[in-house]
Structure 1
Amino acid sequence: MLGIDIVEISRIENIYNKFSDKFLKKILNNIEIEILKKKNYNINSMAAMFACKEAVAKANETGIGDISFKDIKIFYKGQSPYAKLFDQVYKLSISHDGGFAIAVAIKIKTPSHKFKRDQNTHKGSYGRVAIFAGSKGMTGAAYLSTTAALRMGAGLVYNYVSEDIFDIMSIKYIEAIVKSYEDLDYEFLEKIDAVAIGMGLAKSDLAKDLTEKILKLDKNIVIDADGLNILAENLDLLKDRKEFSTILTPHPAEFQRLTGLSISEIEANKEEICRNFAKENKVILLLKGNKTLVTDSKKTYINKTGNAGMATAGSGDVLSGIIAALLARGLDPYNAACVGAYIHGKAGDFASKKVGEEYMLARDIIKSFSSVTANIYYDTLKKDGIGYFKN
């Protein structure tokens, strides 16, 4: 698919002169601003970046609106410019002629193997995850979700915790970075690629206030456990969220609280109820259980991996960490939820072969990630909207 955009350089110059940093922050991420800074904020380069993003949006057949400028990330391999929109890559061609910046974006096939690293990368290339989890007596939830995000390949993972467990988590981790709610810096959170919240969070006034503030971030967010219980008391918290940028991962009892329906009512008409809920609240819904269901209201994926040994404390925390890492690594929310459910279940299947269903712990699922991702490939969704995976 091809997209072309032409922009008058003087128009971009006038906008920049009028709005300066506000304009740049609206269309560029921090890495792109650094690229522009190295070019001394050259107006031709600025116009070219703007045109590139418009061209990618056209190649995606959506235009800016359904997606945002910041969803499109420009990067370079050597001297060659590329763009990434969720999990799709575009080759860019840029030129200037007669006071205009001209950009052409060509969609190129994304390698099907998602877990092989380019050698010319660094930790920032694999995304930054912020996990708001844990409370006194529930440090395991924070540990499992954070460790799962690291094991799923996120470059940097920050676990935000309350002050009363800060020292405990600082001792438990080696690779993860621990931060306290008291030091919450929203400017720093702008650099984060994905957020997960709720695992072992409790329902204190602090947790409720934190959840409300985090939901105001313009980030892809996974909400689980106590985050869902807080949300069940006020679904209006989702109203101002960017559509389908929020992934909810309830088990049946949590979904009962979210919908007000009984579990038997949900089970009797599960797919329709889930689709309607996702549509009404503009979220990706992942309903956990035997044959986990994922839907964005239009597409639905029924996961077939996993086993009864995964019905153990902390298993859901692991899933949240997996999905957060996949979001940070560039998958769009629907695909991140589908692929996350598949990997989670498949890792559980490997774990059951190693230790047996009766003896499985959530940490055994994490230990089995490498058995899955060493061989996993996934294709695009089938025409009927059901996820298709093979390994």
Structure 2
Amino acid sequence: MPSRSDVITPALLRDWALPVPTGGKAARGTVLVVGGSRYTPGAVLLAGVAALRAGAGVLQLAAAESTAASLSIQVPEALVVGLPETGDGAVRGDPGDLLRGLVAEADVVAVGPGLTDIETTGELLRLVLDAAGRETALVLDAYALGALSHAPELLAGSGRKAVLTPNLTEAKHLLGRDPGDDLDAEAVELAGRYDAVVSLYGHIATPDGRAWREESGDAGLGTSGSGDVRSGLLAGLLSRGADPAQAACWAAFAHAVSGQRLVPRYGRIGFLARELLDEIPYTIATV
């Protein structure tokens, strides 16, 4: 029998209203995005700008050092830190005390966008989990999920505030098998196994078995960089004070509906992930 989940609707979200921080940017939290390589800095840019569009107060980007200068120009709102690289341009797993200090001070750390080496990503993930405070929220995406699949004990039983955002390939690694057709059930299994909220293609689950599904997504979201936008959107919502399940549900809806808003201009397919960014604040504000 298919698993039961609640459909994410505007009415559901209005009854689960996002926190509205008052005061300056510090009240809306600091998001640190750790990712990128020499050849994929755009993933960090997309995730970081999405976090700001979702309401984060302070943005910090940590990416391969060869890309730091260009990222700082492309995202002048952010503090940008260059991380040491391997010979093939991947971020090294031993980036040193600067990154450790940034992680320790961040309210939300998103790890994974644009990372390209599973071994160094595993080392990087261990550093982040070691340096992060117990109340620091985590968003794990892309290669960070591959690294986690090799070491589930990093999260399982930790009680950390974490959200995993796998696609079907990453879900296969996390499950150790091909996902079945019932993605609600697969999300619930992953949430229980890794002790984290899981957002799997719009299917959201918590470790205690609660589940939701977003039904507004369309084919246009299946484009390069779209997942990076979703991860950053999640991080921004966590930064402004949403709990992990709430942030995952709101992010799934805002991501999908932002894509819908682009359809009249570009059709169902053909819009770019970067074009989702400007739609995010309006989508959230008009729920």
Report the TM-score, using the length of structure 2 for normalisation.
0.83
Question: Which consecutive unaligned segments of at least 5 residues does structure 1 have?
Answer: 1-109, 377-391
Q: Give the drift of 1:188.
A: 4.1
CA distance in 2, matches of 1:248, 1:190: 20
> Equivalent of 2:76, from 174, 183, 186?
174
Q: Secondary structure at the match of 1:339?
A: helix
Q: For 2:105, what is the secondary structure of its paired residue? A: coil
Structure 2 distance, partners of 1:242, 1:357, is: 40
1:191 pairs with 2:105: yes
Task: Using the TM superposition, name which of 198-207 and 225-234 deviates more.
Answer: 198-207
**Contact 1:350 / 1:371 at 8 angstroms: preserved in 2?**
no
**CA offsets, 1:220-273, max 9 Å, x none?**
100001111222222222246324x1111001111011111124xx21x43233
Distance 2:188 2:126 in 1: 25
2:161 corresponds to 1:250: no
Question: Within 2, Cα distance between the matches of 1:134 and 1:249?
Answer: 17
Match of 1:53 in 2: none
Partner in structure 2 of residue 214 of structure 1: 128
- How far off is 1:126 after superposition? 0.9
2:279 maps to 368
* Contact 1:223/1:249 (<8 A) preserved: yes
Instruction: Name the counterpart of 2:55.
Output: 153
Go from structure 1 to structure 2 and tell me whether the alpha carbon gap of 1:233 and 1:174 turns closer, same or farther (over 3 Å shift): same
Q: Distance in 1 between matches of 2:231 and 2:140?
A: 8
User: Does the Cα contact within 8 Å between 1:150 and 1:176 map onto a contact in 2?
Assistant: no
| Secondary structure of 1:150 counterpart | helix
Query: Aligned pair 1:261/2:177, yes or no?
Result: yes
Residue 113 of structure 1, CA deviation: 5.7
Q: Distance in 2 between matches of 1:117 and 1:355?
A: 35
Match in the other structure for 1:285 = 198
Instruction: Note the alpha carbon deviations across 1:154-194, whole angstroms, 9 max, x for none.
Output: 11010011222222322322111101334625344333111
**8 Å Cα contact 1:286-1:293 kept in structure 2:** yes
* TM, length-normalised to structure 1: 0.62
Q: Between Structure 1 and Structure 2, which shows a larger proportion of strand residues?
A: 1
Looking at structure 2, the residues matched to 111 and 295 of structure 1 have their Cα atoms a distance apart, in angstroms, of 19
Other-structure match for 2:245: 334
Could you say which residue in structure 2 is the equivalent of 1:270? 183
Aligned partners of 2:159, 2:250: CA distance in 1, in Å? 22
Number of residue equivalences: 258
Alignment match, 2:36: 134
Per the TM alignment, residue 310 of structure 1 is displaced from its structure 2 partner at its CA by 0.9
Is this contact kept in 1: 2:220–2:271, CA < 8 A?
yes
Q: Is the 8 A contact 2:103 2:109 kept in 1?
A: no
1:106-137 deviation per Cα after TM superposition (whole angstroms, max 9, x unaligned): xxxx997648664xx11111111000021111
Equivalent residue for 1:319, pick from 209, 227, 230: 230
Distance in 2 (alpha carbons) for counterparts of 1:231 and 1:369:
29
Query: How far is 1:204 from its partner?
Result: 5.5
Change (3 A) 1:371 1:355: farther
One-letter amino acid of the counterpart of residue 340, structure 1: A
Closer, same or farther: CA 229–129 of 1 in aligned 2, 3 Å: same
Which has the higher mean CA deviation after the structures are superposed, 148-157 or 177-186? 177-186
8 A Cα contact 2:32 2:102, kept in partner? no
Tell me, yes or no, if the aligned pair for 1:145 and 1:317 is still in contact at 8 Å.
Answer: yes
Say whether 1:226 aligns with 2:136: no
In the aligned structure 2, how far is the partner of 1:349 from the partner of 1:375? 14
Distance 2:217 2:24 in 1: 33
SS in 1 for 2:269: helix
Q: Which has the higher contact order (CA 8 A, sep 6+)?
A: 2
Q: How does 1:288-307 map to 2 (within 5 A)?
A: 288=201, 292-297=202-207, 298-307=209-218
Are the counterparts in 1 of residues 237 and 251 from structure 2 also a CA contact under 8 Å?
yes
Q: Aligned AA for 2:173?
A: R
1:199 maps to amino acid: P
Q: Which runs of 4+ in 1 moved over 6 A?
A: none
Higher CA-based Rg: 1
Pick closer, same or farther for the CA change 1:280–1:114 going to 2, 3 Å: closer
Contact kept? 1:285, 1:296, Cα under 8 Å: yes
Q: Structure 1 residues 310 and 117, CA, compared in 2 at 3 Å: closer, same or farther?
A: same
Equivalence for 2:90:
none
